[in-house]
Structure 1
């Protein structure tokens, strides 16, 4: 009996030492109902968190020069003649040729004039024969400023405007001359014939017919 006690006393320290070493190597038991133990991160390379976004791979667009367009086949046959801008725009009326106009013969109206106006009219005639219509018209305009109620001067200026291809202005001057002609029916008649000719150039044929009818009344 004594021997057993001696053996137990001798072996007891080694058993306690072994239990103590085993206690340090085992993980602690979980504690229920208490605070959860925060696990320390292990020493090493940290792992990157996974991103929620998906990585989208993009590719460059293909060069349009490399795209071969498909041939277009219209359902209806195209017209053989191309449509031009001139075909879409309305064509302007062509002025009548001189052969289509009614013959017009102006008169050489002569009335007693002052010496200054006579000189201006003579200069205008010389410029007209030389083809300088602008200078001729300027001389007649100066004469009109001197004698503003001279119907013959307005008729001469109307003839010059007609030669300058200004039929509208010639028509207005001829109307002024007809108003100032008073009892000179011959000048009035030729004024309205000039108006008819100017209207024909402007392709106002109905107005030209009315002006020619008025000229026949003198």
Structure 2
């Protein structure tokens, strides 16, 4: 290796080291990046935390939903449910009351795109799909809701009763009896 090439490599290595040192100083002067929609300084004061708690407490629960009454299942609104999902549920119930089943389904599907692991949304969609005469789809949705409904025996029972109805619609009386038996355990 020639002397000229060695000097060139050393100079390149020195400039890279300097550039990296400049980058590390830049990063330490910045606030951390916002996480989960938070902006500004991540260290909140207790007053700001209380305001967030008040805003969260102000989330309105859908009053008297038609598709599934939450009181019937003793389901508390999910703490992570966004205002958008709650508004979509209200819109779906309004569509259902007006007899527009397809619009109600589309609205619940939009809510599921926001909260795909929400067992209550899955159950409501399964219920609507059964009313549309789609028992296979209804059964699959109810099974998924059942898997996600850990700790909610009432919703699990409703899911298995819906599965029994779907199997009845398909003419599977033995399967429906099995599903009803499973529902009776909850």
Same fold (TM over 0.5): yes
- Which of 127, 144, 148 is the aligned partner of 1:180? 148
TM-score, length basis structure 2: 0.58
* Residues 174-200 of structure 1: per-residue CA shift (max 9 Å, x gap): 001000001111100110000001101
Return the alpha-carbon distance in structure 2 between the equivalents of residues 145 and 114 of structure 1: 12
8 Å CA contact 2:109–2:125 kept in 1: the answer is: yes
Residue 104 of structure 2 corresponds to residue 143 of structure 1: no
Tell me what 2:69 maps to: 108
Tell me what 2:95 maps to: 127
Tell me what 1:156 maps to: 124
Structure 2: runs of 5 or more not aligned: 1-66
* Residues 135-185 of structure 1: per-residue CA shift (max 9 Å, x gap): 111110110110111000000001110111111111110001000001111
Question: Shift in Å at residue 107 of structure 1?
Answer: 4.7
Return the alpha-carbon distance in structure 1 between the equivalents of residues 68 and 103 of structure 2: 21
TM-score, length basis structure 1: 0.50
Figure out how many residues of one structure are paired with residues of the other and give that number: 113
* Residues 38-94 of structure 1: per-residue CA shift (max 9 Å, x gap): xxxxxxxxxxxxxxxxxxxxxxxxxxxxxxxxxxxxxxxxxxxxxxxxxxxxxxxxx
8 Å CA contact 1:127–1:135 kept in 2: the answer is: yes
- Which of 77, 81, 85 is the aligned partner of 1:117? 85
8 Å CA contact 1:107–1:190 kept in 2: the answer is: no
- Which of 178, 191, 200 is the aligned partner of 2:168? 200
Structure 1: runs of 5 or more not aligned: 1-105
Higher helix share: 2
Residue 177 of structure 2 corresponds to residue 215 of structure 1: no
Question: Shift in Å at residue 212 of structure 1?
Answer: 0.4
8 Å CA contact 1:158–1:170 kept in 2: the answer is: yes
8 Å CA contact 2:145–2:159 kept in 1: the answer is: yes
